[in-house]
C-alpha cells in the first residue's frame, strides 16, 4: 500500500466472481467412544438410511427428502455430504488431486447456498460404498483403520461421519440434537461469500484482466473489450474501451493483453504494444462515467496518488529525468528534481513530500544497478538525501519507519528521519510486508509464512509466492505445488488468519473490507 495512512478496522466480507463455469459430531445422540468399530474399511457396499428427523444447516431448514445428496445415517451415525457448494456453505472447502485424493479444509468463510435438488423424493434406504482411497483433512492424512466410523461414497460424493473429532476439532462446527427439533449444524464466523458470474476472458495460463473499484467491476471481454458493470446489477455492462490488435497475435489472443489496477481510487488500464519495433507501455485512466483518457505512452511505470502522478521512465535512467511527476490538471510529466540521481528497479513509495526509491546519487547508471541504496527525493524542494549506504533489495515504509532487506536477507528498520539502522531479526527473510508494525514474512530458507515474533508457521508446507497489504489486511498467495492445500490467505493487522482458501484465484482485491476475486478452473 502506498503512503502512510490511518487505518480503521473493518469487518471482512467476501464477493466471489467466477472466470469460468464451475462444475456442477458428535454421534447422532450419543457420545463417540473413540474405539474402532463399525464395518471393515475394505470398500464394501453398505446400506444407509435417511434420517426421519428435521435438519437445520446454519439456521436454514434443509429439505433432506428432495436433496440430491441428503444427509445419511449409517451405523447410528449421521453422515454429511461434502459437495462443492454444500461444504463451502458450511465453511470448509473440498479439493481433489491424484496423489492426495480427496481433501476437506476449513476456511472460515460461508458461501451462499446452492441446493442440489431432485424432483423425485429419496427413498428411505440406499447403498453407499466404504471409501478406502487417500483423504486429507486440514492438510493431514486420514488413517482409515484408526477411525471409529468409515468415510462413505454415495452418488459419487464423499460423506463424512459427524463424529466429535470431525465436527468440532477439524471443521469447527457446532452441533445439537433433540427429538423435537432434530439436528442443527452451524459453522462459525460471519464472513459470507457471494458468487457472481461475469463473462471474463480466459487464457491458457489464467483469467483475463479484472478489478473492482467503487460501485463497478471492470473486466476484459472475449474480443478485446474492457467492460464496466455495476456491482448491484452485474449483468448490465457497457464497453468502455477497445483494445488494439497485436502485430503478432498469440495462439489464444488477437488483442493486446491488458492488466487492470486501482491506485488511490484511480482505475488504470495497462497494455504493451509493439510500435516501430519497440515495446511501448500504454496507461489508460478509466473514469466512473465510462470515459477514458490516455495518460502515458512509453517505457515506464505510473504511480497514482490523489494529488500526484509519478512516472518512473525506464528508458531514461541516465539522469534526473528517470523520475517524473505531474499534477492532476497538468498535461506533461516533469523531473522531480534537478539533483543528479539514478533509479534502480521500479519500487517507488511516497511518504509525505518525499518519494523513496532504490538507486544512487550521481549519474552512474551502473552504480544504481549494482549497488542500489535507499534515496528520499523531495518532489517539492527537489532535494535528494541518502538514507543507507549498504545495498538494498527491497523496502517498505510504515508509521515513519523504513523496513528494508539487504543482500544477506537480513531485515532492518530505520527511522525516516535518519539515524542508525536496527536489525529486526537474524532469521533470513525472502520477502515481507508490514502493517501497524506487524511484520509478515516468507522465510528465506523454507519460503513458508511467518509473523515476526511468533513461534508457529501459519501455513505449514505453503511456499509464499506473493504478499501485499490491502487496507487493514495482509494478502498472501502460495505456490500451487506447495505441500499445503491452501493457495491464498488473508490476515488481520495482528497476523491472525481471517480467511483461507484452497481455490485457485486471481485478482484478489480488498475494498472497504470486502474481498473480490476470480476463481480459476484448474
User: What is the dihedral sign for C-alpha 376, 377, 378, 383?
Assistant: positive
Point out which residues pair with 504 in neighbouring strands: 520
More confident residue, 32 or 105: 105
Q: Report the pLDDT value the prediction gives residue 315, as an integer from 0 to 100.
A: 55
The alpha-helical segments, DSSP class H, found in 312-449 are 365-370
Cα(234)–Cα(73) distance, integer angstroms: 42
Q: Report the pLDDT value the prediction gives residue 214, as an integer from 0 to 100.
A: 85
Angle in degrees, CA 300, 2, 405, rounded to 5:
85
Candidates 169, 182, 152; CA nearest to 79 is 152
pTM across the whole model: 0.75
Cα(188)–Cα(451) distance, integer angstroms: 24
Residue 324, Cβ neighbours under 10 Å: how many?
21
Residues 6+ apart with CB under 8 A from 60: 113
Best mean pLDDT range from 107-111, 204-208, 260-264: 260-264
What are residue 435's phi and psi, to 5 degrees? -145, 120
Q: Are the CB atoms for 282 and 270 separated by under 8 Å?
A: yes
Residues 6+ apart with CB under 8 A from 121: 65, 66
Best mean pLDDT range from 11-25, 248-262, 451-465: 451-465
Cα(475)–Cα(488) distance, integer angstroms: 7
pLDDT class of 330 with cuts at 50, 70, 90: confident
H or E element, residue 88: helix 84-89
CA 24 to chain centre: 24
Using DSSP's 3-state secondary structure scheme, residue 146 falls into helix
**DSSP secondary structure, 151-207, as one string:** -EEETTEEEEE--HIIIIIIS--EEEEETTTEEEEE-----EEEEEE----EETTEE
H or E element, residue 84: helix 84-89
Q: Is the pLDDT of residue 271 over 90?
A: yes
Residue 320, Cβ neighbours under 10 Å: how many?
19
Using DSSP's 3-state secondary structure scheme, residue 368 falls into helix
Q: Are the CB atoms for 388 and 359 separated by under 8 Å?
A: no
For residue 520, CA distances in Å to 10, 216, 227, 228, 246 come to: 27, 21, 19, 21, 25
Rg over CA atoms, the chain:
27
Cα(383)–Cα(354) distance, integer angstroms: 9
- What average pLDDT does range 433-444 have in this prediction? 93
Q: Report the range of poorest mean pLDDT among 60-64, 78-82, 332-336, 341-345.
A: 341-345
Q: Report the pLDDT value the prediction gives residue 254, as an integer from 0 to 100.
A: 83
Q: Are the CB atoms for 451 and 495 separated by under 8 Å?
A: yes
Q: Are the CB atoms for 431 and 415 separated by under 8 Å?
A: no
Cα(305)–Cα(253) distance, integer angstroms: 32
75-117 per-position pLDDT tens digit: 999 999 999 888 888 888 888 877 778 888 887 777 778 778 8
Cα(46)–Cα(73) distance, integer angstroms: 11
Q: Is the pLDDT of residue 466 over 50?
A: yes
Candidates 466, 469, 463, 423; CA nearest to 443 is 463
Q: Report the pLDDT value the prediction gives residue 519, as an integer from 0 to 100.
A: 72
- What average pLDDT does range 449-467 have in this prediction? 93
Amino acid at each position: 500500500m502506498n503512503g502512510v495512512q490511518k487505518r480503521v478496522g473493518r469487518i471482512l466480507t467476501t464477493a466471489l466472481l467466477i472466470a469460468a463455469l464451475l462444475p456442477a459430531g458428535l454421534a447422532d445422540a450419543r457420545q463417540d467412544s473413540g474405539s474402532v468399530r463399525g464395518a471393515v474399511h475394505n470398500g464394501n457396499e453398505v446400506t444407509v438410511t435417511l434420517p426421519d428427523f428435521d435438519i437445520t444447516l446454519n439456521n436454514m431448514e434443509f429439505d433432506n427428502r428432495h436433496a440430491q445428496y441428503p444427509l445419511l445415517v449409517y451405523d447410528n451415525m449421521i453422515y454429511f455430504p461434502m459437495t462443492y457448494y454444500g461444504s463451502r456453505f458450511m465453511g470448509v472447502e473440498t479439493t481433489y488431486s491424484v496423489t492426495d485424493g480427496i481433501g476437506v479444509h476449513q476456511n472460515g468463510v460461508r458461501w451462499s447456498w446452492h441446493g442440489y435438488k431432485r424432483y423425485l423424493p429419496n427413498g428411505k434406504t440406499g447403498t453407499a460404498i466404504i471409501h478406502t482411497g487417500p483423504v486429507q483433512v486440514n492438510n493431514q492424512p486420514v488413517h482409515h483403520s484408526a477411525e471409529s466410523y468409515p468415510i462413505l461414497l454415495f452418488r459419487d460424493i464423499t460423506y463424512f461421519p459427524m463424529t466429535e473429532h470431525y465436527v468440532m476439532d477439524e471443521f469447527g462446527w457446532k452441533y445439537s440434537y433433540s427429538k423435537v427439533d432434530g439436528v442443527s449444524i452451524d459453522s462459525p464466523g460471519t464472513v459470507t461469500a457471494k458468487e457472481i458470474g461475469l463473462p471474463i476472458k480466459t487464457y491458457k495460463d489464467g483469467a483475463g484482466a479484472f478489478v473492482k473499484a467503487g460501485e463497478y467491476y471492470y473486466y476484459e471481454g472475449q474480443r478485446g473489450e474492457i467492460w464496466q458493470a455495476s456491482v448491484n446489477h452485474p449483468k448490465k455492462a457497457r464497453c468502455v474501451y477497445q483494445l488494439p490488435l497485436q502485430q503478432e497475435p498469440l495462439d489464444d489472443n488477437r488483442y493486446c493483453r491488458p492488466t487492470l489496477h486501482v491506485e488511490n481510487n484511480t482505475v488504470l488500464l495497462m497494455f504493451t504494444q509493439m510500435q516501430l519495433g519497440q515495446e511501448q507501455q500504454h496507461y489508460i485512466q478509466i473514469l466512473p462515467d465510462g470515459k477514458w483518457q490516455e495518460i502515458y505512452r512509453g517505457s515506464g511505470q505510473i504511480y497514482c496518488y490523489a494529488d500526484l502522478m509519478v512516472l518512473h521512465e525506464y528508458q531514461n535512467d541516465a539522469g534526473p529525468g528517470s523520475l517524473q511527476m505531474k499534477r492532476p490538471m497538468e498535461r506533461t510529466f516533469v523531473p522531480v528534481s534537478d539533483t543528479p540521481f539514478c533509479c534502480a528497479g521500479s519500487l517507488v513509495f511516497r511518504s509525505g513530500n518525499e518519494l523513496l526509491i532504490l538507486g544512487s546519487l550521481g549519474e552512474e547508471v551502473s552504480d544504481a544497478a549494482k549497488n542500489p541504496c535507499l534515496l528520499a527525493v523531495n518532489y517539492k524542494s527537489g532535494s535528494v538525501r541518502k538514507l543507507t549506504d549498504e545495498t538494498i533489495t527491497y523496502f517498505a515504509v510504515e508509521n515513519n519507519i523504513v523496513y528494508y532487506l539487504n543482500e544477506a536477507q537480513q531485515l532492518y528498520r530505520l527511522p525516516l528521519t535518519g539515524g542508525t539502522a536496527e536489525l529486526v531479526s537474524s532469521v533470513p527473510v525472502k520477502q515481507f510486508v508490514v502493517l501497524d508494525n506487524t511484520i509478515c514474512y516468507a522465510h528465506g530458507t523454507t519460503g513458508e509464512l511467518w509473523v515476526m515474533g511468533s513461534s508457529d508457521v501459519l501455513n505449514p508446507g505453503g511456499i509464499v509466492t506473493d504478499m501485499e497489504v490491502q487496507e487493514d489486511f495482509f494478502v498472501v498467495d502460495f505456490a500451487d505445488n506447495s505441500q499445503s492445500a491452501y493457495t491464498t490467505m488473508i490476515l488481520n493487522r495482528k497476523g491472525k488468519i481471517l480467511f483461507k482458501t484452497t481455490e485457485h484465484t486471481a485478482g484478489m482485491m480488498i475494498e472497504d473490507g470486502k474481498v473480490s476475486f476470480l476463481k480459476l478452473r484448474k
